């Protein structure tokens, strides 16, 4: 699908339904493939579901400049996608990992367009940045972010020994999923484009994040490899609306290893916050 002068891979489910729209945002190092189980379940309930391989992940959407991967640009892609599939008013939003940061940005820049917001694993950027500055556990878990700032170093690390770092992150994923992800990351230019999300996060003009004003749920695994508890607990200070924090006895890859429980939470929250009340 072409929008914002880029070609994106887009997955859909239930677009012929008459229900409300849900847009799903993947994070690193995955793709829209991660959302297929949730999309099927929600489309069976009558919702229209869309997920896309975001900038860097779609082969036709890999601009070279770091600024093209700013959170402002990534958030604009989400809203433009909603328009592209025929929605010009409110929709529901779900995001995991870096997709969560994109979602928090959408709720900041376009609050009037979001019916409900479901963040998975990652808190709002002000909470995360606070934890990076003040919490030793988060500093340790987030040390890779600094490595990702180094031109060439991140690419070399991720490509070393036949993508060993990525294969370790995907340990336990089904083989077809791993093959799909390797196809993405081994494509020329893909790793630099994907890592540019992290570079743009600190190198491009920062958004003034304001408290979230839409119904919000944050789902977090207590054994998360990347996000420590401090930022999760801090996050409530940055939401000025109905807010739920759901903690699971799980790790970071909630859709891979805790799909039923995670999807149930998403489904309940979306249904609790109908757009057409």
Pair 98, 74: CB distance under 8 Å: no
Read off the tokens for 62.
Answer: 């890999």
d(CA 274, CA 82): 17
Strand locations in the chain (E): 2-3, 6-7, 10-13, 21-25, 48-52, 91-96, 114-120, 216-221, 243-248
**Residue 162 CB: number of other CB atoms within 10 A?**
9
pLDDT of residue 151: 87
Angle at 264 between CA 274 and CA 37, to 5 degrees: 105
CATH class of the structural domain 2-272: alpha beta
pLDDT of residue 277: 66
Read off the tokens for 10.
Answer: 């887009």
Q: Can you give the pLDDT of all 277 residues of the chain as single tens digits?
A: 999 999 999 999 999 999 999 999 999 999 999 999 999 999 999 999 999 999 999 999 999 999 999 999 999 999 999 999 988 889 999 999 999 999 999 999 999 999 999 999 999 999 999 999 999 999 999 998 888 998 899 999 999 999 999 999 999 999 999 999 999 999 999 999 999 999 999 888 889 999 999 999 999 999 999 999 999 999 999 999 999 999 999 999 999 999 999 999 999 999 999 998 6
pLDDT of residue 196: 97
Q: What is the dihedral of CA 271, 13, 85, 96, to 10 degrees?
A: 60
Which ranges of 110-236 would DSSP assign to H, the alpha helix? 125-134, 136-141, 143-147, 153-169, 175-185, 190-203, 229-234
Pair 30, 80: CB distance under 8 Å: no
Read off the tokens for 116.
Answer: 């409900």
Alpha carbon 107 to chain centroid distance? 13
d(CA 126, CA 105): 11
Q: Is the peptide bond before 222 cis (omega within 30 degrees of 0)?
A: no
Residue ranges covered by each domain of the chain: 2-272
d(CA 121, CA 101): 10
pLDDT of residue 203: 86
Alpha carbon 179 to chain centroid distance? 21
């Amino acid at each position: 699908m072409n929008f914002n002068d880029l070609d994106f891979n887009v997955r859909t489910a239930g677009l012929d339904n008459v229900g409300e729209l849900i847009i799903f945002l993947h994070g690193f190092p995955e793709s829209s493939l991660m959302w297929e189980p949730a999309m099927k379940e929600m489309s069976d309930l009558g919702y229209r579901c869309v997920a896309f391989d975001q900038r860097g992940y779609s082969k036709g959407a890999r601009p070279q400049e770091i600024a093209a991967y700013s959170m402002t640009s990534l958030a604009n892609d989400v809203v433009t996608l909603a328009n592209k599939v025929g929605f010009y008013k409110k929709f529901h939003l779900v995001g995991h990992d870096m997709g969560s940061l994109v979602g928090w940005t959408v709720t900041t820049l376009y609050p009037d367009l979001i019916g409900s917001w479901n963040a998975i694993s990652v808190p709002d950027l002000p909470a995360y940045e606070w934890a990076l500055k003040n919490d030793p556990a988060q500093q340790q878990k987030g040390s890779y972010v600094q490595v990702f700032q180094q031109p060439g170093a991140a690419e070399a690390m991720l490509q070393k020994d036949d993508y060993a770092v990525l294969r370790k992150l995907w340990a336990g994923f089904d083989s077809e999923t791993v093959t799909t992800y390797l196809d993405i990351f081994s494509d020329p230019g893909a790793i630099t484009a994907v890592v540019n999300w992290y570079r743009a996060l600190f190198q491009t003009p920062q958004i003034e994040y304001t408290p979230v004003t839409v119904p919000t749920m944050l789902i977090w695994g207590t054994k998360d490899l990347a996000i420590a508890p401090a930022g999760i607990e801090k996050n409530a200070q940055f939401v000025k609306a109905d807010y739920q924090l759901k903690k699971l006895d799980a790790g970071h890859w909630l859709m891979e290893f805790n799909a039923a429980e995670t999807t149930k939470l998403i489904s309940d929250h979306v249904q609790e916050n109908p757009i057409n009340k």
